[in-house]
């Protein structure tokens, strides 16, 4: 687990939400809500993934507006630890 930014961030980052499965915080790079699975593993089972997405929606809706964001779980920077961002549609224009 050494050198995994997400495992490290789990100790430092202020959270919107946390439970046994995951935590949700603002991504330090993108400044949008991001859900991080507590397992250091890139591929959660389907039912875990669905739960992570539900939790993210609960946090992201009041911040970005219902329907005002899209789930993005393409893991560009940290491909070996599952996480997903809630991105507003205009994100790439900023
Ligand atoms: Zn990790
Ligand atoms: Zn990010």
Residue 61 is inside which H or E element, if any? Answer: helix 46-64
Q: What separation in Å is there between the alpha carbon of 26 and the centre of ligand 1?
A: 17
What is the tens place of the pLDDT at every residue in 19-58?
999 999 999 888 899 999 999 999 999 999 999 999 999 9
What is the tens place of the pLDDT at every residue in 50-93?
999 999 999 999 999 999 999 999 998 899 999 999 999 875 55
pTM of the entire predicted model: 0.90
Neighbours of 8 (CB within 10 A): 12
Ligand having the closest approach to the CA of 80: 1
Q: What separation in Å is there between the alpha carbon of 84 and the centre of ligand 1?
A: 13
Q: What separation in Å is there between the alpha carbon of 64 and the centre of ligand 1?
A: 26
Q: What is the mean pLDDT of residues 5-27?
A: 90
């Amino acid at each position: 687990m050494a050198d995994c930014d997400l495992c490290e961030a789990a100790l430092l980052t202020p959270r919107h939400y946390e439970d046994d499965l995951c935590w949700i915080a603002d991504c330090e790079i993108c400044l949008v809500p991001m859900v991080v699975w507590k397992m250091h593993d890139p591929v959660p089972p389907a039912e875990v993934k669905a739960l992570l997405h539900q939790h993210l929606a609960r946090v992201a809706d009041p911040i970005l507006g219902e329907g005002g964001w899209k789930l993005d779980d393409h893991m560009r920077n940290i491909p070996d630890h599952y996480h997903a961002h809630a991105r507003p549609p205009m994100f790439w224009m900023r």
